[in-house]
Structure 1
């Protein structure tokens, strides 16, 4: 197994085990993450996203992965997340292809590719079915994701300050 395949195996086995610390240890300091729901996020925001998603998914979050491939420079993996989303607890089954660029044994860039319309139909319901294909809905989803992540980070900071 190539060393970068081992990095991806560690990343996804940690995701499956709901261990965001081990996942994000696979990321380089200046990680760039991109997907249809969050857009482009970097550094600590990208790392915090995994903590937030795992925490919010709780025991309902199920991760499966396959087809890990990597060489000295790039790699890919297929994965599926099954979870309940939002206040209405809608079941989402999201099929994703992750692509990666590596540097010095760490993930430098991580891009998750999935069908946002399919996701929005499951997660949002009728509005997602009708509008999930549109750029306006994509922008709204990214804005809401960014707002949720910012709130999560603020709560983490407040918790750390109180614990000090």
Structure 2
């Protein structure tokens, strides 16, 4: 029998596959925290707004997930997002490992890990391949993402 928190992770990614951000948000606690190599630390509404922004911009988006494991406290999954990066028109296939912490049947922490250099190589081309490993370029990617999310949130308000 599938643990309820494993079913919650599956529900989250099934909603993500449909680009249903409201259903994704329903899997999160109101005080959820999220982190990944680009969005280092987001809280609450910032998390769902990030997904809303990313889903709205993604072109030719597909998502597959696997290896869902969970118990009463924590869980994990592997997922692969394929899309055209809107800023460059380049195709990205991002392999991501996710960790989750649960409280009261909802996700309270969501941490994604992926190779930012590999992502930059795909999304940015030669510049990303040559310089994407440097802290300067990685910090620039983070700063641009932060500005983009702030602008998205301001426009939605």
TM-score (norm 2): 0.96
Deviates more, 1:112-121 or 1:36-45: 36-45
Q: Is the 8 A contact 2:64 2:79 kept in 1?
A: yes
Q: Does 1:36 align with 2:31?
A: no
Mapping of 1:34-73 within 5 angstroms?
34-58=35-59, 60-73=60-73
User: Unaligned stretches of 5+ in structure 2?
Assistant: none
Query: Aligned-pair distance for 1:128?
Result: 0.8
Mapping of 1:1-164 within 5 angstroms?
1-58=2-59, 60-157=60-157
Would you identify which runs of 4 or more consecutive aligned residues in structure 1 move more than 4 Å? none
- SS of corresponding position for 1:61: strand
User: Unaligned stretches of 5+ in structure 1?
Assistant: 158-164
* Partner Cα distance (1:17, 1:87) in 2: 23
Is the helix fraction higher in 1 or 2?
1
Query: Aligned-pair distance for 1:88?
Result: 2.7
TM-score (norm 1): 0.92
Q: How many residue pairs end up in the alignment? A: 156
User: RMSD in angstroms over aligned alpha carbons?
Assistant: 0.9
